[in-house]
Each structure stands twice: as structure tokens, then as C-alpha cells.
Amino acid sequence: MATSRKDPKGRKLKDGESYRSDGRYQYRYSLGNGKRHVIYATDLQKLREKEEEIKDNQRNNIKTNVSKTTLNDMFELYMSGKTELKQSTRTNYNYMYNNYIREELGVRKITTIKYSDIKKFYNSLINEKSFKPNSMEIINTILHPVFTLAVRDGYIRTNPTDGAMAEIKKSHNWEKPKRHALTVAEQQAFIDFVANSKVYNHWLSLFTVFLGTGCRVGEIVGLRWCDCNFEQGSISINHNLIYRQQDDGKCEFHVTTPKTSAGIRTVPMLKDVRRALLQEKKRQMSEGFNDTEIDGYSDFIFTNRVGYIHNPQTINRAIKRIIRDHNKEEKELAKKEKREPLEIRDFSVHSLRHTFCTRFCENETNLKVIQEIMGHSDITTTMNIYAEATNDKKQEAFAQLEGKIKIC
């Protein structure tokens, strides 16, 4: 008759359990591959909790021998499988991960990272590193699929990033910043000031094309003469020119294709756009064409006065200076003329695209046409801008009705 094994307190030990001479308990078990493993605990209850976790993991096909696998390991595994990532996206992911995740959260074992750890990490980026919503979205976009891979490969049961970003947004009262379109008066004031300024006149062609096509900044700075068909009156949008920090820390231009097939499109050439492009071509025929080559692409249209291609930061800085100088001059003139000044609100280069779309929505009711011209992959984006534009028009129309309808 077999005798049962007991610990010093007289408690019966199960198969695989034993009491060690150093006062600890241990449990021996084997996985499907036959390899044996041992876990330890300071008391029997804690040991059995660990045993149950191991058995539960085995029932749910969760890997149990992953004690050394870190988040960094999972990130490398995830990135090695993302062969479809554009080089620009890959570079951005690596930059953000290496600078903000790798040395802190990245060294943690994948099995020890909980939802509360993710929230704490996200809050530290916001409070200690002054991260804004867009930067936090990038961090979450990187981490969420890495943990999803860990779930699918059986390292963990649930994704600790699920719902974390939504709660962070709520706790910080974050709302997606609303881009505003220039009013018709602001748009005209901006273009008139640039056109009549000796300091800023050289920006006129570029801003005219922005306001007359609604293209993204990367599409405009990457525009080539061969993309413009003056006979048919159209512009082919088929690539972007991006300016981004590389793995070595240097910022460079690179050509990339649009994120979705909707980004590849043909935009009709308005008369003002045609005139601006031909003026730019005439200038370059006199002063010389740009010979910059980037990833095999050349013949770029827009360059600064020393021949370099514009990057978005440079354009935004120019816009800020133009707004500053316009508003200063306008306030002085309005004071002399004893009227309210027409000041231009602060805006970024992307607002020019939003402005074009708003003007388009004010004059076109076919949402599908607007979507195709703008290159929106999701018509919801088009519908939201259309709703904003038509709502402003309704308010304006009702303001004009004031006093004209005899109610009583």
C-alpha cells in the first residue's frame, strides 16, 4: 500500500509537488514536447495557484515556457512579419519604438504586462514627455498589433492595450482637433496679400495650386512637370514626397505611393491653377529647372529660391509669417479707416486642402465626385466636411433672411 506524501504541516502533497529542505515548495511538470519544468513558491497555496494557472494555460493553448520573452522580442517578431509596410512607415515605427518604448516598457516580460501597466505607461508619456494625441495614437498603433500577435501565438490570453487609448482620451478630455477651413474672405485676403507682397510673392504659385486642387502637402511638393497635362487640363496624382527622420537620425525626402488606391487620381486643372503653373514654368525656363533626383523621381515643380524642395515645416513657417504680417498691416489700415480689421486666423498647410474641399462642397452636391477628387478612401470623411460646409451655408442663408420674412 502506497504511502501519501505530506509537508511539515501534515498537508497531503499532490503528484509533482514536493517540499524542499530550504523551506520552499516545488512543482514539476512537463509540456507536450516532453521537456520537464519546475516552479517554486514559498507556501503551498501560492504553489497551487501557479499550478492552476499552468493547467489553465495548457487547456487554452497558452504558452507556459515564455518567461524570458520580452516586449522587445515580440516587437522584433512582429516587424519581421510586416513585409508589406512601406519603408517610411517602418522607419517611423522603429524611431518611435526605439526612442520611447524599447528601454522602458520594452524590457518587460510579455506575460507580466497588464492593462494597468499600459495605462501607466501612456500617462507617463503624456505627463513627463508632453505627448500629444497624434503621437499617442502612433504609440498605440505600434503596441496594439504587437500584443495581438502575442495573443494569437499563445503567449498571453488578452491584449492589455484593448480599450486603453479610449480611456486615456476620456480621462484627458481629448477630442480630435477640428481643422477649420478659411472663410471666403480669409482665403481672398491671404492670396491677395501674398500676390501683392514683395517679400512673399514667390509663394503665390504654390499656394494657388494648394487652394485650387485640394491636394495633400506631400502630393504638391512631389508634383512633377510630367504629372501636368496642359492639353487635357488635368493633374495626375500618383505619388507622395515625404520628409521624415530616418533610422540614423537624419531627415530625408523619399517618394512613397498613396496609402490607398483612392489616393491615385486625376484632378482637373482650374484656370487659376493652370495660370500659376505656367508662370512657374516660365520662371524656371529663365532661371533653370530643378535637377533634384529622389528615389529615381525628378523634374519636380516647386522649389525654394536656392533650388531645394520645400518640406512641410518650411511651408508652415512661411504661412505663420504671412498671417503675422498680414494681420499687423490689416489692423493698422483698419484703424485708419475706422472699421473692424479682417484678420486671418492661424492655420496650417493642411487647412488649404480643407479649404478647397469646403469650397467644393459649397458648390457641388455629388458626394462621390467630391470623394474621388479629394482622394478620400472613406466617404465618411467627405460627408463630415460636406455637413460642416452646408451647415455654414444654412446659417449664412438664414442670416440673410433676417427681417425679410413677415411673421407678425
Tens digit of pLDDT for each residue in 332-387?
A: 999 999 999 999 999 999 999 999 999 998 888 899 999 999 999 888 888 888 78
Instruction: With CA atoms as reference, report the closest residue to 110 among 66, 161, 142.
Output: 66
DSSP letter assigned to residue 261 = G
Alpha-carbon distances, residue 137 vs 208, 289, 384 (angstroms):
32, 40, 21
Domains annotated for the chain, with CATH where assigned, are 1-62 (3.30.160.60), 71-171 (1.10.150.130), 184-398 (1.10.443.10)
Please give the Cα distance from 376 to 397 (Å, whole number).
Answer: 29
Q: How confident is the model at residue 33 (pLDDT cuts 50, 70, 90)?
A: low
At residue 50, what is the residue type?
A: K
pLDDT tens digits for 135-164? Answer: 899 999 999 999 999 999 888 889 999 999
How far out from the chain centre does Cα 382 lie? 19
Backbone angles phi, psi at 127, to 5 degrees: -80, -35
Residue 13, exposed/middle/buried by CB under 10 A (0-12, 13-18, 19+)?
A: middle
Residue 45 pLDDT greater than 70, yes or no: yes
Lowest mean pLDDT of 119-128, 218-227, 343-352, 357-366, name the range: 357-366
264 contacts 258 by C-beta, under 8 angstroms: yes
Q: How far is CA 20 from CA 7, 26, 36, 332, in A?
A: 9, 7, 18, 89
Average pLDDT over residues 198-227: 95
Helix (H, G, I), strand (E, B) or coil at 341: coil
- pLDDT above 50: residue 117: yes
- Taking only the tens place, the pLDDT of each residue in 259-297 is 778 889 999 999 999 999 999 999 888 888 888 888 899
Confidence (pTM): 0.68
